[in-house]
Amino acid sequence: MNTSASERPLEGQTAIVTGASRGIGQAIARRLAQAGAKVACVATRVENAQVTAAECAKLQPGAQAFGVDVADTEAVAALCKTIASEMGGPHILVNNAGITRDQLLMRMSEDDFDAVIRVNLKGTWNFIKATTRPLMKSGGRIINIASVVGITGNAGQANYAASKAGVLGLTRSVAKELAGRGVCVNAIAPGFIDTDMTQSIDENSRKALLEAIPLGRMGQSDEIAQAVAFLAGPAGGYITGQTLVIDGGLSL
């Protein structure tokens, strides 16, 4: 990776990335570290985030691993205080942690619905709430990873689509609330990205999905991560309340 000074616009900034142990979150953490940010890599368990944190520390010293359930409001508040005192900031918050519990509505349990809303929507709110003060001080950035199904809906994903649509509404509302303090708040809505989350999709559904994507392929985690780095960097300074769809044309 090229790490020349001109390509390190986030030097001196601390970024929190949730769900950083693998997939899209891991790629985001790497990209932000490459751009010079000290990254707080958050996963459900600290040991799961350690590999990512070690990789990030090679790109920008100071990266650390943390473990928390993003749905646990008190634990998230305590963690954000620890991150602020140990690492400074935060200046950038990326809410990426997310789960699916896919099931047709008739078979979806209350627990399937609640679990997905708690992690994807309340988890995002928890981190925003716990970092608003330092983000206001630094005129920081919040980037929420939603999903294209939060816009289009999807059979078998009523819980997940509702949680991601909620994230889009949350993004626009917080963007309006914090704009006066110079904080930019945006969402990214990925389509079908090649990660562990999409590994479980059966062969027939995968084939049908690929046929529906105009660009004819799945996206890569780093294609989401590069957009996050763009929104977090100097080029993103006049963009707020927006949803950037990155789906190979799936939703066209």
Point out which residues bind ligand NAD (CB under 6 A): 18-19, 21-25, 43-44, 48, 69-71, 96-99, 119, 145, 147, 190, 192-193, 195-198
Helical H segments across 89-122, by residue range: 110-116
Give me the phi and psi of 29, to 5 degrees please.
-60, -45
**CB 6, min distance to ligand NAD, A:** 30
We find the least distance from the C-beta atom of residue 70 to ligand NAD, in angstroms, to be 4
Contacts of 233 (CB under 8 A, 6+ apart): 9, 10, 35
Q: What's the min distance (Å) between Cβ of 37 and ligand NAD?
A: 18
Nearer to ligand NAD by Cβ, of 117 and 136: the residue is: 117
* Residue placing its CB nearer to ligand NAD in the complex, 29 or 59: 29
- For the question of residue 160 being annotated catalytic, the response is yes
Work out how close the CB of 12 gets to ligand NAD at its nearest, in angstroms, rounded to a whole number.
26
* Identified catalytic residue from 160, 166, 183, 221: 160
Q: How many whole angstroms separate alpha carbon 150 and alpha carbon 212?
A: 17
Let me know: does 5 contact 60? Beta carbons within 8 Å.
no
The angle subtended at Cα 185 by Cα 78 and Cα 161, nearest 5°, is 85
Least spacing, CB of residue 154 vs ligand NAD, in Å: 10
Going 78 to 83 to 89 to 91, the CA torsion angle's sign is: negative
What are the Cα distances from residue 118, in Å, to 24, 73, 235?
20, 10, 32
Cα–Cα distance, 232 to 217 (Å, whole number): 27
Q: Which is nearer to ligand NAD, 23 or 36 (CB)?
A: 23
Complex with ligand NAD: residue 99 or 142, whichever CB lies closer: 99
| Identity of the residue, 55 or 69, whose beta carbon is nearer to ligand NAD in the bound complex | 69
Catalytic (active-site) positions: 160
